[in-house]
Amino acid sequence: MAGQTVNFKLNGEEIRAAAGWTIWQAARAAGVFIPTLCHHEALHPFGACRLCVVEVEKDGKKTLEAACSYPAAEGLSVETETPRVQKSRKMTAALLLARCPSVPLIRELAARLGVAEDSLPLKGRAEEACILCGRCVRVCREAIGKRAVSFAYRGPQRRVSAPFGEEAPDCIGCTACVFVCPTGAVKAVRQDNRLRLSPWQTELPLLSCSACGRSFAAEKVLRHLHGLQKASFDPETLCPVCRRKQVGEALEKVSKLGKAGSFPPGKEQKQFKH
């Protein structure tokens, strides 16, 4: 498959995409914006929020499909802003606004799509912040390889939670879920050398830096990372700031350049988009 390409029409223009790309990936490469919510580039397509729908014409039939998961394929004709698409997106935004009336991200989205404040009769709780995009659940499984959190219950009762709503034994406190949550529904609080994650009722001890004494990461995370590198775990460990400082000082000593700042920058860290 590598190196193969497919050609299809996007908003009337022939574009080329790598085989295996989704419509969303191909559109982005072509500079066409398609809004997303549940999608995250570091994770597998999930297709849950339905905000990214586009109109796909295939074999003469036009259907709405989720751009984030629909594979780009030869001969498709894709439209990203037809009235049908706009109507659907607007309803999706209205539904999410009704569910999460006070989440800024959803409020902005709804306003942008012209959704009136009280367009639907059933209202969610003011404090509801979860749109059930499943990023937290997926990042835990796909990126970290743990299953600390999952979906519970079906239908309108669906929610994300730790198993049985109790403290998650599988949680290492990496806070990846906090990082990928688009609405701020998952929160981490660091206090008194402890990490508290909500809505999971998880609390983990934080490890203190052996140099500066600041608590900086859950011990389980460091054990997990050491495990991945097949290194043994040393509780006498430095926080990232002190480590950088230590490395810098050591390099300064051996370097003729004398200034750590002149070193070529490290590989740029991949930015997660929200």
Q: Which stretch binds ligand FES (CB under 6 A): 41-49, 77-85, 164-172, 261-269?
A: 41-49
**How many CB atoms within 10 Å of residue 167?**
15
Contact (Cβ atoms closer than 8 angstroms) between residue 150 and residue 177: no
45 vs 40, 134, 142, 203, CA distance in Å?
8, 11, 11, 30
Residue 45 within binding range of other proteins, rule CB under 8 A: yes
**Does residue 76 belong to the site contacting ligand FES (CB under 6 A)?**
no
Q: Give the number of other CB atoms < 10 A from CB of residue 24.
A: 25
Tokens 């939670």, located at residue: 161
How many residues in the chain?
A: 274
- The full DSSP string for 153-207 is SSGGG-EEESGGGS--TT-----HHHHH-SSS-SEEEEETTEEEEETTTEEEEEE
Report the residue from 11, 82, 86, 88 that binds other proteins according to the rule CB under 8 A. 88
**Partner in contact with 150, chosen from ligand FES, other proteins, none, beta carbon below 5 to 8 Å by kind:** other proteins
Query: Which of 15, 23, 27, 48 touches ligand FES by CB under 6 A?
Result: 48
Q: How far is the CB of 242 from ligand FES (least distance, A)?
A: 40
39 contacts which partner out of ligand FES, other proteins, none, CB within 5 to 8 A by kind?
ligand FES
Q: How far is the CB of 76 from ligand FES (least distance, A)?
A: 17
Binding site for other proteins (CB under 8 A): 45-51, 53, 64, 66, 69-71, 73, 84, 87-88, 91-92, 95-96, 98-99, 120-122, 131-132, 134, 150-158
